[in-house]
Structure 1
Amino acid sequence: MTGITVIVVVVALAVVVGFVVTRREGKVRSIRPAEAANDRVEQLLAAGVQRGVPTVLHFSASWCGPCAAVRRVVASVVSDSASVDGPAPVEVEVDMDENPALAREMGVMSLPTTFVLDAHLVERSRVSGVPSARDLVAAIESAR
């Protein structure tokens, strides 16, 4: 009987830990705009981000399985957003293994991580995991 009780407690604990770890997965979190530091701006520009247009910046790696899903969602949303009024967003993918300094500067803790930057390179939204297309569209609209 004690063995069954221990198993039940371990399973319940595993469910709670799993819920806590994944509750923010794929959720777009809006960021209160703040001026980007000069060092961050220089690193973003070196990574291919352009001033003057909203940017969807996503960090990935060749070994990251979910990153392929992010590529599909971002490509679809960016191409669909090009026909909407306002500046068309630009997609920039950064390999975390090739650019660890920028990943550290942006606070990337896991892959995939996606950011929406406004035209002034200010972070407006952040997504850990695979974002939904609808949430990503809303984040881009708020950055325009």
Structure 2
Amino acid sequence: MTGLWVVVGTLVAGLLVGALLHRRNGRIRTTAEPAGESAELPEPVTAALAPGSAVTLVQISTTFCAPCRQTRALLSHLAERTEGLHHVDLDVTDRPHVAQELGVLRTPTTVAYTSEGREILRVGGVPKGPDLLAALGPHLVPEVERGSH
């Protein structure tokens, strides 16, 4: 009888962990960083920032990550169709120190940066396109429009 309770407990725990991970997948977390301050970025991230774009989406991926391919397709599509948005896929398979320095614990993780290197938001897992664009909207508005609000 004890074996049956162990199996049931394991199944329940697995279902709860799975539900929690599914719920957190694609959730956008804004970064509460004081204005004017930005963390020291690893060189591959600094090199990936597009000076001519308002926002650069840096996707942290690994070679054999299936959700990373889905995220790459989504973010590339958004960047092609959104002015001021640039996408870079950074494979950290052979550079785990980059993920460690950024505090990335899973792939894919997408981090949005301003052209100056200030972090705006993070998404763990595959982002939801409309939600991501809505969160980035204030950063993508041209300077002329921002000044009139």
> TM-score scaled by structure 2?
0.78
1:1-144 matches, cutoff 5 A: 3-34=3-34, 35-37=37-39, 39-40=40-41, 42-46=43-47, 48-51=48-51, 53-82=54-83, 88-144=84-140
TM-superposed CA distance for 1:20, in Å, is: 2.8
Cα RMSD, aligned residues only: 2.1
The answer to whether the 8 A contact 1:119-1:143 is kept is no
Q: Which structure is richer in relative contact order (CA contacts within 8 A, separation 6 or more)?
A: 1
TM-superposed CA distance for 1:5, in Å, is: 4.2
Residues 119 and 3 of structure 1: CA distance in aligned 2, closer, same or farther (over 3 Å): same
- How many angstroms apart in 2 are the aligned matches of 1:3 and 1:110? 33
Displacement over 6 Å in runs of 4+: none
1:40 alignment partner, SS class: coil
The answer to whether the 8 A contact 1:124-1:139 is kept is no
TM-superposed CA distance for 1:21, in Å, is: 3.3
Question: How many residues are matched?
Answer: 137
> TM-score scaled by structure 1?
0.81
The answer to whether the 8 A contact 2:49-2:115 is kept is no
Q: How many percent of aligned residue pairs carry the same amino acid?
A: 31
Residues 132 and 5 of structure 1: CA distance in aligned 2, closer, same or farther (over 3 Å): same
- How many angstroms apart in 2 are the aligned matches of 1:51 and 1:101? 24
